[in-house]
Amino acid sequence: MDYLYCVQMYLPLRDKDGQPINTEMFNAMAEEVVEKFGGLTMTPLLGNPVYDGFWKSPRTKKTVRDKNSVFTIFVPQEEGSVEFFRDGKKKWQTSLNYEELLIIVHQVQAL
């Protein structure tokens, strides 16, 4: 049985100041992921499905509402796979001017 990690990156369409994020930033992130893992699937940046998010900011204690696109990436269940996203998270948060990116990892089985 082959097991993979399914990594989902919830990417805000506006930065923490409410300004639209330049789509070139998403393209650069996608290229980086594709270079490392060979592919990804993403929801559209405009139209549907774009997901509404609600979360309480630990910094301001206020509820933040955002719209998100989602990158879904299937990666080998190897030590370096999760570290790639853990290491990239801070860099991506800075480049997107966002307080906290949500990146989740699931173990899945490929059939």
What mean pLDDT comes out for the span 38-51? 85
- Contacts of range 59-63, beta carbons closer than 8 Å, 24 or more positions apart: 59/99
pLDDT digits (tens, 9 = 90+) for 11-42: 999 998 889 999 899 999 999 999 999 999 99
Count: domains in the chain: 1
81 domain residue, yes or no: yes
Give, for 49, the enclosing helix (H) or strand (E): none
CATH of the domain at 106: 3.30.70
For the whole model, what pTM was predicted?
0.87
8 domain residue, yes or no: no
77 domain residue, yes or no: yes
6 domain residue, yes or no: no
Residue 104 has pLDDT above 90, yes or no: yes
pLDDT digits (tens, 9 = 90+) for 51-86: 888 989 888 898 988 889 999 999 999 889 999 999
30 domain residue, yes or no: yes
φ, ψ dihedrals at 57, nearest 5°? -70, 125
Residue 47 has pLDDT above 80, yes or no: no
26 domain residue, yes or no: yes
